[in-house]
Amino acid sequence: RRRRRRRKKKQSGKKTKAGSGNSSDDNDDEESDHDDGKGDSHAADSVTEKNDEKTKGQESPSSKIGKKKSSEEEAQEGGSKSEEKAKDDNQKQLKKKKGVQFAEEEDEDTNRLTEQTIKFLSKGKYRVPKWARLPTHRRAIFEVRKADEVVDVVPLGNSPSIIFGRQKDLVDVQLAHPSISRQHAAVVHDKHGRIQLIDLKSGHGVRVNRKRIKPNYPKRLREFDVVTFGGSSRSYECQYRSSEGKGSRSGAKDDDSDDESLHFSNDDDDDEELRRKRKQQRREKEKVRCSHLLVKHRDSRRPSSWRQQKITISEEEAVEKVMEFRGRILKSGYKMAEAFAELATKYSDCSSARAGGDLGFFTRKKMQKPFEDASFALQIGELSQAVRTESGVHIILRTG
C-alpha cells in the first residue's frame, strides 16, 4: 500500500513535468509493480490457506452432529452384523453337533429293519412291530421237550421275527396240536438285544412259566424260561447260549436297567385309550332281550299300577312275593319261559304284563343301572335273583 501511494505521488509529480524525460524509470516502476503484485498475490494465497486451515479445525456444530449420527449408525450396523455372524456361527455349530448326534444314533441303531424286510417277514394279519431289530443273540434257541426229553431244537437267532402257528403258509414254525391257532404267537428281537414273546390273540393262549401272558403285549423271555403254546404238552425252554451263562443258571444275567414298554398290535393300534373307547363302543352296542316281573311297594317311585291304584305293601313283603314267584318258575323246569310269562301276565305291576313281561331287545343305558347290570350279567335262559330298583323289586329272565 505504501508503495502504491508513493507511485501515485510520483505519477502526480511527473504530470506536472514536461515530456518524456524518464521512460526508463517508468518501465522499472512497472516491473516493480508487477513484482509487487506477485508478492501481494502470494500473501493473499497464504492468508486464504491459513483461513481454510482454521475453518477445518473449527467445524460447525451441525456437521459435528451429522458425524456423530453417522458414527452411531455405523456402530449399530457393525453390532448387528457381528450379532448375525455370531448367530450363523452358533447355528453352524448346532448343525454340526446334531449331525454328529444323528450319525452316532445311526451308528448305534445299525440293526434297524428296512421296510422291505418288514414286508417280507409280515404274513397274514401279523405285522412285524416297528421296534423289531436284527437278532444280537445269534445262538439263542428253543429247546423242545416232551416228557422231560429233548425232542427238537428251534433256532431263534436266524430272523428278527419268527411266527408260530398251525397254518403252514402263514407261519415260520408249524405246530400240529389242534388247540394251536393259525397264527398263535411270535418271537421278536427288540432294540435292546432281548427276545420278546407275543401272543397273537390265540384261542388257547400262550404261557410263560405256567402263567398266561396278555395278548398283543410283548413278554420278555429270559434264559431258561419255559413256554407252552395252547394245550400242547410240549414245552419250549429259552436258551441264549451265551459264553458267560453257558451251562449255569446262575450265570444268566438279569439286567433291567434299560427296560422300556414295547407296544404291539396286529392293526398297528398302539393307543390304549383308543382301545378303551372301542371297547366301550362295543359294550354300548351289545343287546340283550329280557322278560321281567315287577312287584311295587309303597316306597316305589310311583306306588300305583294297572292292578292296584294305591300300593301299600312294604319293600320286604315285595321281596318275599318275588322270591315266591321265582320258586314257582324254577319248579316248572324246561317250561320256565311259559311259566314266567303266565305269572308276569297276572301279577306284574309293569305295563309289559300284557306281553308276558317281555321287554324286547335293549342296549346299555336304557334301563336303570341295577336292572341293566343284572340283565347283562345273565346267560340266555338264566333267571336272576331279586333285583331292587326305584320302580320296585324285579325278577329277570334273559331270553336273548
Count other C-beta atoms under 10 Å from residue 37's C-beta. 10
Residue for grid cell 313281561: 357
Whole-angstrom distance, CA of residue 258 vs CA of residue 280: 34
Spell 204-239 as b/e; 16+ CB within 10 A means b. Answer: bbbbbeeeebebbebbebebebbbbbbebebbbbbb
Count other C-beta atoms under 10 Å from residue 99's C-beta. 10
Query: So which residues are the catalytic ones?
Result: 292, 350, 368, 391, 394
Whole-angstrom distance, CA of residue 284 vs CA of residue 254: 44
Cβ contact 396:292 at 8 Å: yes
**Grid coordinates representing 173?**
414254525
Candidates 128, 104, 118, 121; CA nearest to 262 is 128
Angle at 80 between CA 76 and CA 86, to 5 degrees: 145
Whole-angstrom distance, CA of residue 151 vs CA of residue 155: 14
Cβ contact 187:196 at 8 Å: yes
Per DSSP bridges, beta strands 211-212 and 235-239 are unpaired
Whole-angstrom distance, CA of residue 148 vs CA of residue 76: 86
